[in-house]
Amino acid sequence: MTDVAKSTHPHMHATQEHSVLALHQGAHTTEQVGMAVKSVRARFAASPEIAVVLGTGLGALAARIRTEAVIEYADIPGFPLSTVESHAGRLLFGTLAGRRVVAMQGRFHRYEGYSLQQVTFPVRVMRALGARTLVVSNACGNMNPLWAPGELMLISDHINLLGDNPLIGRNDESLGPRFPDMSDAYSARLRAVAREVALERRIPLREGVYVAVTGPNLETRAEYRFLRAAGADVVGMSTVPEVIVAVHAGMEVLGVSILTDQCLPDALEPATVERIIATAAAAEPRLTELVAGVLERL
């Protein structure tokens, strides 16, 4: 992926190129994070309170942010580029529901060829910029027979089946502890607030377990049975690495999924990217309302 990074950054200077190589080879360091933060500060000086990761088809939330600055990923040392349809590649700085936020418009995935250190580097940078809360969203496949596409699910816990972990390698103690506790990875406090907002605004909200797999192919019938038996309600190809790093960095996390396709092995139908994006887009207003309502109460 290093060669791809070079070819998609034609104006990358030597420092940026070195940073990308270092991230690909090992864990994050204070020096790498500081280099990216310095680059961002040169363009936008204010400190965000909340970081938001926008997933597939979730552009409505970005549109609601009162944007003060936009920085392309290509202009930040160490940031890869998103290669996925429907994912932009920039940081948005501004206010949402009265809170100062930084939002990733476009995220990275393991299946794009990036290491999990590269995938999660933006979380490090957003934390160093001042954000203490991470709101992460995604589109996912639904394996719970009682739920339906288009519904929202509050993530209560996750299962990491990526076969990797972004914390592997030498640990920089200034960024977080060697062995972070994950017993409250998805903040019980924030989930309680989300449930209150959903109830008051009549937004149907499920709650369950998200399992992360590498992709990019969707799962077989046997794999859906396995994942469901393992305790997962939904399956996706993102979110878990970012949450692990956020918890390591001491951030409070709220995760919400949009259920986009039915993954019931005994009634499985082919899924298409177009249908998944359309389902996510139809659910955007409810997700936007829920997240905005939570931020108003923080």
What's the pLDDT tens digit per position in 35-74? 999 999 999 999 999 999 987 656 778 888 999 999 999 9
What DSSP letter does each residue of 86-121 carry, written as one string?
T---EEEEEEETTEEEEEEES---GGGT--HHHHHH
Q: What is the pLDDT of residue 11?
A: 35
Average pLDDT of the chain, as a whole number = 89
Reported as a pLDDT band with limits 50, 70 and 90, residue 6 is: very low
pLDDT in tens, 136-159: 999 999 999 999 999 999 999 999
Residue 25 has pLDDT above 90, yes or no: no
Distance of alpha carbon 125 from alpha carbon 133, whole angstroms: 13
Rounded average pLDDT over 211-218 = 96
Check which CATH number belongs to the domain holding 38 and give it: 3.40.50.1580
For 85-104, letters b (16+ CB in 10 Å) and e give ebbebbbbbbbbbebbbbbb
Distance of alpha carbon 137 from alpha carbon 42, whole angstroms: 28
Residue 115 has pLDDT above 70, yes or no: yes
Q: Any residues with CB less than 8 A from the CB of 260 and at least 6 apart, and which?
A: 56, 139, 140, 141, 142, 149, 150, 275, 276, 279, 280
Structural domains counted in the chain: 1
Check: CB of residue 55 under 8 Å from CB of residue 88. no
Distance of alpha carbon 267 from alpha carbon 279, whole angstroms: 19
% of the chain beyond a pLDDT of 90? 78
Task: Quote the DSSP letter at residue 206.
Answer: E
pLDDT in tens, 177-188: 999 999 999 999
Q: Is the dihedral of CA 108, 127, 232, 115 positive or negative?
A: positive
Residue 1 has pLDDT above 70, yes or no: no
Q: What is the pLDDT of residue 85?
A: 52
Predicted TM-score of the model (pTM): 0.90
| Residue 19 structural domain | 2-297
Could you identify the residue written with the tokens 């017993």?
183
Lowest mean pLDDT among 160-174, 252-266, 267-281: 267-281
Q: What is the pLDDT of residue 14?
A: 35
* Interior angle at CA 89, CA 37 and CA 159, nearest 5: 85
Q: Which amino acid is at 73?
A: Y
Reported as a pLDDT band with limits 50, 70 and 90, residue 82 is: low
Distance of alpha carbon 93 from alpha carbon 81, whole angstroms: 18
Residue 234 has pLDDT above 70, yes or no: yes
Residue 97 has pLDDT above 50, yes or no: yes
Residue 86 has pLDDT above 70, yes or no: no
Check: CB of residue 245 under 8 Å from CB of residue 167. yes
Q: What is the pLDDT of residue 161?
A: 98
Rounded average pLDDT over 77-91 = 75
Rounded average pLDDT over 239-256 = 98
% of the chain beyond a pLDDT of 70? 88
Distance of alpha carbon 89 from alpha carbon 108, whole angstroms: 9
Q: Which amino acid is at 161?
A: L
Rounded average pLDDT over 230-257 = 98
Q: Any residues with CB less than 8 A from the CB of 79 and at least 6 apart, and which?
A: 36, 73, 121, 122, 125
Check: CB of residue 153 under 8 Å from CB of residue 256. yes
- The pair of structure tokens assigned to 235 is 């399956």
- Find, among 296, 287, 289, the residue nearest to 97 by Cα: 296
Rounded average pLDDT over 91-104 = 95
Residue 283 has pLDDT above 90, yes or no: yes
